[in-house]
Amino acid sequence: MTAKVDSANVISITENGCAHEFRINCSSCRLSSICLPIALNMEEVDQLDSIIQRSRPIQKGEHIYRQKEHFTSVYAVRSGSVKAYSITDGGQEQVTGFYFPGEIIGMDGIAKSSYASSARALETSSICEIPFDKLGELSQRIPSLQRHFFQLMSQEITEDQQLLTLLSKNTADQRVASLMLSISARNARRRLSAAHFRLPMSRTDIGNYLGLTVETVSRVLSRLQKLHILSVDNKEITIADDAGLRAVADGAHTH
């Protein structure tokens, strides 16, 4: 069942429309409860909606924005998934995050008016562009929007700090287990299966993100499979033993 488009902005069916349908507005978006509109009333959502630009879905590998490019907008992932990464002075890539529907990317560009990272689609994805100057204006008039955006940025900070802890203190097993749990939780938030999902990123990306080599990631996944904690079929992951996975993430010694 695909969404039927009546005119440029209005659609008649959205409930089970294609995930990549890009002309849906915020108020009919399935993600409104976990995305930017959270904590806004209907009228405010409409105002927010009016500044958001939606474009056709982008293909796997396409960039949403590039490091050092002039900052203009933040973006909400509507469908698909995105990887954010930066290239260091030494020329090596550092994956700074994976983003799923309902999550906001590009906030690292505000500080210097240029993006500190690049973002590219890991699969075909729909993205909502939110021009930041207009978001700023709107925030002047809608206190709850300003507050919510402060909260979003603060959340990014706390998540980065949790990741710091993960990299600084935890073993390879813990890091991989934690990432699996994180993806699982974010899936659940979107009312998808917490136990089964498909990883949109490569092993290389996972390793890069977690400060590990591809080989180590592969070995950890094999090990967790052998322990019947995960079932790993290429990119298809099934969490077979949730408690066990949490135990590994928390540093239980499973020699």
Partner DNA sequence: CGCCTGGTTGAGAATCATCAACATCTGTGG
Partner DNA sequence: CCACAGATGTTGATGATTCTCAACCAGGCG
What is the distance between the alpha carbons of residues 93 and 234, in angstroms, rounded to a whole number?
Answer: 24
* Minimum distance of a copy of itself from residue 118's CB (angstroms): 12
* Minimum distance of DNA from residue 171's CB (angstroms): 3
Of 20, 189, 219, 246, the residue at the interface with DNA (CB under 7 A) is 219
* Minimum distance of DNA from residue 58's CB (angstroms): 16
Task: Show contacts with DNA in window 110-169 (CB under 7 A).
Answer: none
Q: What is the 3-state secondary structure (H, E, C) of the chain?
A: CCCCECCCCCECCCCCCCCCCCCCCHHHCCCCCCCCCCCCCHHHHHHHHHHCEECCCECCCCEEECCCCECCEEEEEEECCEEEEEECCCCCEEEEEEECCCCEECHHHCCCCECCCEEEECCCEEEEEEEHHHHHHHHHHCHHHHHHHHHHHHHHHHHHHHHHHHHHHCCHHHHHHHHHHHHHHHHHHCCCCCCEEECCCCHHHHHHHHCCCHHHHHHHHHHHHHCCCEEEECCEEEECCHHHHHHHHCCCCCC
Q: How many residues make contact with a copy of itself (CB under 8 A)?
A: 45
* Minimum distance of a copy of itself from residue 180's CB (angstroms): 17
Contact between 158 and a copy of itself per CB under 8 A: yes
* Minimum distance of DNA from residue 234's CB (angstroms): 5
Nearer to DNA, 76 or 212 (CB): 212
Could you tell me which stretch among 21-29, 55-63, 157-165, 231-239 binds a copy of itself (CB under 8 A)?
Answer: 157-165
Of 56, 60, 70, 112, the residue at the interface with a copy of itself (CB under 8 A) is 112
**Which x/- pattern over 219-248 shows residues binding a copy of itself (rule: CB under 8 A)?**
------------------------------
**Which x/- pattern over 160-179 shows residues binding DNA (rule: CB under 7 A)?**
-----------xxx------
Q: Do 194 and 239 meet the contact criterion of CB atoms below 8 Å apart?
A: yes
What is the distance between the alpha carbons of residues 247 and 245, in angstroms, rounded to a whole number?
Answer: 5
Could you tell me which stretch among 5-13, 22-30, 140-148, 232-240 binds a copy of itself (CB under 8 A)?
Answer: 140-148
* Minimum distance of DNA from residue 199's CB (angstroms): 8
**Which x/- pattern over 39-78 shows residues binding a copy of itself (rule: CB under 8 A)?**
----------------------------------------
Could you give the strand order of the β-sheet that contains 82-87, starting from the edge strand earlier in sequence? Answer: 63-65, 118-121, 82-87, 93-99
| Ramachandran category for residue 10: left, alpha or beta (phi over 0 → left; psi -120 to 50 → alpha) | beta
Q: Report the interface residues with a copy of itself, using CB under 8 A.
A: 86, 88-90, 92, 94, 96, 107-112, 116-117, 136-137, 139-140, 143, 146-147, 149-158, 160-161, 163-165, 167-169, 208, 210-211, 250-251
